Amino acid sequence: MLFTYFTKVIPLKQYLSPTAHTIITLFLNMSGSLLRLLFFQVLTLHCIGLKAQNNQNASGIVDSLISKASMHLNNNFASAEELASQALQISHAINYSEGKINSELILCNVHANTNRGRNAIQKIRTLSLNIPPDDSASQSKILSGIGLCYYYLGVYDSSRYYVEKAIIYLDGRIKSNFLGDQYMLLAKLFLRTGDTKKAQVYYEKAKAVFEYQKNQNGLAWTTDLFGEILYAQRLYEKAQTNHLKSYDDFYKLSNTSGKASASLHTGNTFYMLVQDDSAKKYYSDALSLYKLLGDSNGIAICYSNLSMVALESGDVKGAIAHAQKALSTINNSGYQQIEIATYRQLGDIYAEIKQYDKAIDYVNKALVAAKSANMKVKILYCYKSLSEIYATINKHQLSYDYLLSAYRLKDSIQPIAFSTKLAELENQLENQKRESQIQQLKQGQVISSLEIENQKSDIRKRNLLIVSGMLFFILMGTVVYFYFQKQMLKSKLEKELTIQSTAENERLRFAKDIHDDLGSGLSKINFLSELMVNHAKTNADVTSNAAAISETSKRLIDNMRDLIWALNPENTTTGDLIAAIREFASDYLEDFTAELHFHIPSNFPDFQIRKECYREVLMTVKESLNNIVKHSEAKEINLKSH
């Protein structure tokens, strides 16, 4: 009974083996409340440990599911979504934050390509509320996911904002594949807004990352991206070569998503090269691959492009049917890029069958959507379509206005030739008496532009000459300045050396003169004094004075010798100082009973010292020894160095 109650509270079977379960049953049926209490405590601790271990195992399962889902992203969105959903469910159960983020990002990618981009943005923003601001890795993944959804929705400004912010969080610390993916996405964003130069910059950054990581899948995507850049520059044959190469690379990697993208882009190049049959084949291949992948976004693009091919071949019904399939595939999910292209395509189709009201209505829908998304290329194509429609129905002023609007946009995006069409429209406006005004205006503009260009050229030349002259004078001034500075420094140094040499020579001469003149005189005084002492035995005062003269002379001779020694610049070293101290101390204490000991190491460093320091130290030693002799009865004197 107790066991039944206990197992209801703690489900033991899911944690224990059958043998352990049987043993626990026996223990629970034993009598003794103390034993049961002890057993319950041990069992609780064991279950807690098992739960921690199970959580660890569960996180490993989550990581495995996420890895498999990432692989399925290239081949089947449904399988990727199923695996990511399982990983997300387990991550919530064990509160595994990294698993939540990674599984949500995979779901975000799937939803972005399957008409659920807006829902994905909302979910991932909710998830970001629980991410610490200092967790840069998680924050960058969240921002990247939001940017990806906005990209597929055609909201390029928002997409670019979040992707650039994700890259800032990464801060270039590591060359990870994730960083390469962000550079790829930025390159595509700049392509969509017509800035091919910046697109190429980020393409090169992405390629460098994937080359560093030796990521063949990433390199295949960069090859396809480079084809898109060449396509935007109207280099269709070169673009086609890159797309076909990327298709082969994706084929070797068994990457369905990559093959579909390469097929779609190859079809675009054939379409622009007016090879409609080949374009249709590649669009159809891409459609099959996108259906296999489950990518509704790609499916809609293929239908829209097949509609263009059908219209070119005269199959109006087929063109309308494909365009309607494209719109029904995205089902008003906010994918503006596809909607704009398809609406404009429908406008061209209805213009072809002379249903101009419907044609204008659809193109205007495309124009409104393109303006709201700030897609300049799409806006330009809409202006072009409206110009052609109004020209067909003889509304020449409106046709001319729309074409001029398109003409103003062309320089800011990509080179598109409108000159021929503009000339045709100008001819159509002859009946409205505008031709002469337009021609005069154009001629005036050409003349003005030529004059302005000539003026600009003259100004550039003059500015170049002025700048060159200024740079020359600055350079010459700098050279002259440093030359005179060098000469002044050299002169100053030579002067200082001369002064120093003169001073040293003067000191040597002074020392020699003192030694020769004063030294000899003092020595003579000392000699005479000693004679007086030796011969003046009868006169005590004379003897005393003579002794004083002798003693003073000796002291002067010693001091003079020390002074001369100190004045000699060659003697002002620590070695000379030690030798002088040793000589003086030995002579001075010769008649003193105390024993003298020197404790100065033989390897004492020998270096130059100032003559003032030399003399002060020597005088200090003399005074110290003099005090010892006069005022102490020392038996031992020690001289030490520190």
Q: Are 47 and 126 members of one domain?
A: yes
The answer to the question of residue 292 being in a domain is no
Asked if the model's pLDDT at residue 464 lies above 80, the reply is yes
Q: Are 178 and 161 members of one domain?
A: no
- Give the model confidence (pLDDT) of 586-625 as tens digits: 877 776 777 888 888 877 787 887 777 877 887 888 888 8
Q: Containing domain of residue 192, as a range?
A: 174-273
Percent of the chain with pLDDT over 70: 74
| CA atoms in the 13 A half-sphere facing the CB of 481 | 6
Q: Are 25 and 54 members of one domain?
A: no
Asked if the model's pLDDT at residue 460 lies above 90, the reply is no
Amino acid 303: pLDDT: 92
- Give the model confidence (pLDDT) of 102-114 as tens digits: 888 888 888 888 8
Asked if the model's pLDDT at residue 37 lies above 70, the reply is no
Asked if the model's pLDDT at residue 4 lies above 80, the reply is no
Q: Are 163 and 185 members of one domain?
A: no
Is the pTM higher than 0.85? The answer reads no
Asked if the model's pLDDT at residue 285 lies above 90, the reply is yes
The answer to the question of residue 443 being in a domain is no
The answer to the question of residue 502 being in a domain is no
d(CA 571, CA 613): 12
Average the pLDDT over 376-405 and give the result: 85
The more confident residue out of 287 and 101 is: 287
Split at pLDDT 50, 70, 90, the class of 562 is: low
The answer to the question of residue 287 being in a domain is no
CB-based burial label for 406 (10 Å; 0-12, 13-18, 19+)? buried
Q: Are 614 and 567 members of one domain?
A: yes
Asked if the model's pLDDT at residue 641 lies above 80, the reply is no
Amino acid 501: pLDDT: 76
> Which of 43-47, 197-201, 605-609, 620-624 is predicted most confidently?
197-201
Average the pLDDT over 333-362 and give the result: 85
The answer to the question of residue 611 being in a domain is yes
The answer to the question of residue 212 being in a domain is yes
The more confident residue out of 539 and 593 is: 593
Cβ of 10: how many Cβ atoms within 10 Å? 12
Amino acid 222: pLDDT: 94
> Kindly report the CA angle at 332 between 331 and 334, in degrees rounded to 5?
125
Average the pLDDT over 469-493 and give the result: 87
Work out the mean pLDDT of the chain and round it to a whole number: 78
Asked if the model's pLDDT at residue 239 lies above 90, the reply is yes
d(CA 363, CA 357): 10
Q: Which helix (H) or strand (E) holds 332?
A: none
Calculate the CA dihedral of residues 198, 202, 208, 210 and round it to 10 degrees: -150
Asked if the model's pLDDT at residue 45 lies above 90, the reply is no
Q: CB within 8 A of 641, min separation 6: which ones?
A: 578, 599, 600, 601, 604
Amino acid 561: pLDDT: 65
d(CA 107, CA 81): 6
**Torsion angles phi and psi, residue 68, rounded to 5:** -65, -40
Average the pLDDT over 377-400 and give the result: 86
Asked if the model's pLDDT at residue 62 lies above 80, the reply is yes
Asked if the model's pLDDT at residue 68 lies above 80, the reply is yes
Asked if the model's pLDDT at residue 133 lies above 80, the reply is no
- Residue that finishes a domain, picked among 144, 167, 190: 167
What is the CATH number for 188?
Answer: 1.25.40.10
Amino acid 39: pLDDT: 45
Q: Are 163 and 202 members of one domain?
A: no
The more confident residue out of 558 and 244 is: 244
The more confident residue out of 558 and 28 is: 558
179 neighbors 209 (Cβ within 8 angstroms): yes
Helix axes 574-588, 611-631, angle to 10 degrees: 20
Which amino acid, residue 285?
D
The answer to the question of residue 495 being in a domain is no
Asked if the model's pLDDT at residue 557 lies above 80, the reply is no
Domain count, the chain: 4
- Residue that finishes a domain, picked among 273, 297, 314: 273
Amino acid 286: pLDDT: 94
- Residue that finishes a domain, picked among 116, 133, 167: 167
